[in-house]
Amino acid sequence: MDARAIIARLRRHEVPSAAELTWFAQGLADGTVSDAQAGAFAMGVCMGRLGPKGRAALTLAMRDTGDVLHWDFDGPVIDKHSTGGVGDCISLVLAPALAECGAYVPMISGRGLGHTGGTLDKMEAIPGVTTQLGPDRLAQVVRDTGAAIVGATARIAPADKRLYAIRDVTATVESLDLITASILSKKLAASPDALVLDVKLGSGAFMKSADEARALARALTETANAAGCRTSALITDMNQPLAPSLGNALEVGEVMRVLTGGHADDPLAQLSAELGGVLLADTGLAPDAVSGAARIAAIISDGRAAERFGRMIAAVGGPVQFVENWQRFLPEATVIREVPARDSGYVTAIDGEALGLAVVALGGGRQVESDTVDPSVGLSRVIRLGASVRAGTSLATIHAARQEAAEAAEATLRAAITIGPEPVAAPPLIHERITP
């Protein structure tokens, strides 16, 4: 086959065959396809549409350029993926809760992207934790503890790694077909029996509108189900941070408060239960999503998920007594300051993307790939939508390494939180459910 012929088909708005997409994906992985050809391919897909069959073919082709993991467990293998938001640390709550239900959760996660935090960065805020495990070690940890949250090795979907880097510099990131293939080629490489997708919607999400979020959720679920993995999606709200903290160690602290404090009404606990309930129903571990959610909620509130989390952390190198002494182990910033409101009224809007970028600027994320992340910095006690404030009410607490960084974050935070004269209703936690 010839890369030029495949690119020409895309230029004519034709969908390449499954065999052609398989050849091109392999060329991305082994270098047969040049950077120029990869960029032209990405632009061709971006300017046209692969459609459901082409999208599924590209996803499986990219998956199969690397290792596809296989398991020998006595229960279902399940996974969850979020499209990215702020204050979103659900994976750390959900993985141990699902393991306590008899599922196995080899969760291959990523680092921060843009304004959104990365699950691996949060895990690595815990001293000693390693997120890079080989396949044999990963299987052993999951067998022993029921769950592990790790990074993808270089042998997982290498075509995606190459194409993603090309997309980043050719303005072709925002293609529904390419986003779907990128996400699912890595997730399906872990061979889950069931997958739930948390598709974020709102100011702190990549998808700002309901139509965008719905289109992505449907593309992802249709493609994953066509590939043989039972997949459902929830479109969830990201018009404000899910947890009241942003930043790696601060978000781990929120996870521990939920796991050890019985905060059943916390949005982090509620959404974890809803997502987990879908997975339990889809794998037959619960009769339906409602009873599955109730089971997850009980496991979180009575401490069983916390105990399982502690075992998981110890198995990947973290402190043995982390759950009992988590405040002692998590790093703290040297500069901590509150941001008081200057006006009275109600919180009517929160720019979640701006808050996320403020955390990146503090050092809690990467502006370039080589940046070192400071796990201690971020924002905590971020005020909620609809809250009544008076002049002097704290809008948030800044955790910074330097005073000047804290001052810059304060200016960003003030601009990101709108205070108006009339109250607004808080948006629903779940906007829509998409099932097979």
The reply to whether 122 belongs to the active site is no
The reply to whether 80 belongs to the active site is yes
Tell whether the model's pLDDT for residue 154 goes beyond 90: no
- Mean local confidence (pLDDT), 145-161: 91
User: Which one is catalytic: 64, 79, 266, 374?
Assistant: 79
Question: For position 67, what pLDDT does the model report?
Answer: 93
Q: What is the mean pLDDT of the chain?
A: 94
Closest C-alpha to 58, from 8, 13, 24, 81: 24
- pLDDT tens per residue across span 10-58: 999 999 999 999 999 999 999 999 999 999 999 999 998 899 999 999 9
Cβ distance 229 to 113 under 8 Å?
Answer: no
| % of the chain with per-residue pLDDT over 90 | 85
Q: How many CB atoms lie within 10 A of CB 171?
A: 11
Tell whether the model's pLDDT for residue 1 goes beyond 90: no
Cα 397 off chain centre by: 24
- Mean local confidence (pLDDT), 267-271: 96
Query: What are the phi and psi torsion angles at 130 (to 5°)?
Result: -115, 140
Question: For position 148, what pLDDT does the model report?
Answer: 96
- pLDDT tens per residue across span 67-106: 999 999 999 999 999 988 899 999 999 999 999 999 999 9
H/E segment holding residue 395: strand 394-400
Confidence of residue 3 (pLDDT cuts 50, 70, 90): very high
User: Which one is catalytic: 115, 167, 214, 257?
Assistant: 167
- pLDDT tens per residue across span 159-172: 998 998 888 778 88
- Mean local confidence (pLDDT), 271-285: 97
- Mean local confidence (pLDDT), 209-214: 93
Question: For position 175, what pLDDT does the model report?
Answer: 87
User: Which one is catalytic: 55, 63, 80, 115?
Assistant: 80
- pLDDT tens per residue across span 351-403: 999 999 999 999 998 776 667 889 999 999 999 999 999 999 999 999 999 99
CA dist 272 and 292 (Å) reads: 11
User: Which one is catalytic: 182, 236, 380, 393?
Assistant: 182
- pLDDT tens per residue across span 99-112: 999 999 999 887 76
> What single letter denotes the amino acid at residue 338?
E
Confidence of residue 113 (pLDDT cuts 50, 70, 90): low
**Residues in contact with 108: Cβ distance below 8 Å, sequence separation at least 6, in sequence order:** 79, 150, 151, 152, 156, 186, 187, 189, 190
The reply to whether 161 belongs to the active site is no
- Mean local confidence (pLDDT), 178-204: 94
CA dist 425 and 348 (Å) reads: 9
User: Which one is catalytic: 122, 162, 187, 214?
Assistant: 187
Confidence of residue 247 (pLDDT cuts 50, 70, 90): very high
Question: For position 337, what pLDDT does the model report?
Answer: 97
The reply to whether 13 belongs to the active site is no
CA dist 167 and 162 (Å) reads: 9
Question: For position 370, what pLDDT does the model report?
Answer: 67
CA dist 385 and 313 (Å) reads: 33
Question: For position 412, what pLDDT does the model report?
Answer: 97
End-to-end CA distance of the chain: 36
Identify the three-state secondary structure at position 216: helix
Secondary-structure percent of the chain, ordered helix, strand, coil, rounded to 5: 45, 15, 40
User: Which one is catalytic: 116, 119, 223, 376?
Assistant: 119
User: Which one is catalytic: 82, 83, 145, 180?
Assistant: 82
User: Which one is catalytic: 55, 63, 186, 257?
Assistant: 186
The reply to whether 167 belongs to the active site is yes
Tell whether the model's pLDDT for residue 125 goes beyond 90: yes
CA dist 270 and 255 (Å) reads: 12
Whole-prediction pTM value?
A: 0.92
- Mean local confidence (pLDDT), 122-147: 95
CA dist 379 and 113 (Å) reads: 18
User: Which one is catalytic: 81, 115, 162, 257?
Assistant: 81
The reply to whether 119 belongs to the active site is yes
Question: For position 368, what pLDDT does the model report?
Answer: 66
Question: For position 9, what pLDDT does the model report?
Answer: 95
